[in-house]
Structure 1
């Protein structure tokens, strides 16, 4: 289980009942969750908020400044 404020890598998003997978890991910050469905709200680097199933989250990561 991830906590709000954690920075994670994720491999896809859920939109309109469909799951879209990414070939490259995306990075974002967890801002909330839906516990029943095991879906996390993640704010991506562009500022957009995505619904991400827990199984697509890679976990804790360091974001390098630069």
Structure 2
């Protein structure tokens, strides 16, 4: 798993992410999840991502990879 931090993603961009933040805890995934960027929270260094199931996740920047080369399933 190679993740590059400090990339700025745009709303609508499809990315892969390796975990989510819930209730102050970060849950990591062994498999990459795919979702669409819907917003950025600069002060929290995270993004709001809509997962394939339609749920919204708070994802730390460091757990996101992808960009234009990621294809939504």
Q: 1:62 aligns with which of 28, 53, 71?
A: 71
Shift of 1:59: 1.8
Q: Secondary structure at the match of 1:36?
A: helix
Provide TM-score, normalisation by structure 2. 0.84
Q: Which runs of 5+ in 1 are unaligned?
A: none
Shift of 1:63: 2.3
Q: 2:23 aligns with which of 10, 16, 25?
A: 16
> Does 1:37 pair with 2:44?
yes
Segments ≥4 residues shifted beyond 3 Å: none
Provide TM-score, normalisation by structure 1. 0.92
Structure 1 CA distance for aligned equivalents of residues 42 and 63 of structure 2: 15
Q: Say how many residue pairs are matched.
A: 64
RMSD between superposed Cα atoms in Å: 0.9
Q: Relative to total residues, which structure has the larger strand share, 1 or 2?
A: 1
Structure 1 CA distance for aligned equivalents of residues 28 and 50 of structure 2: 17
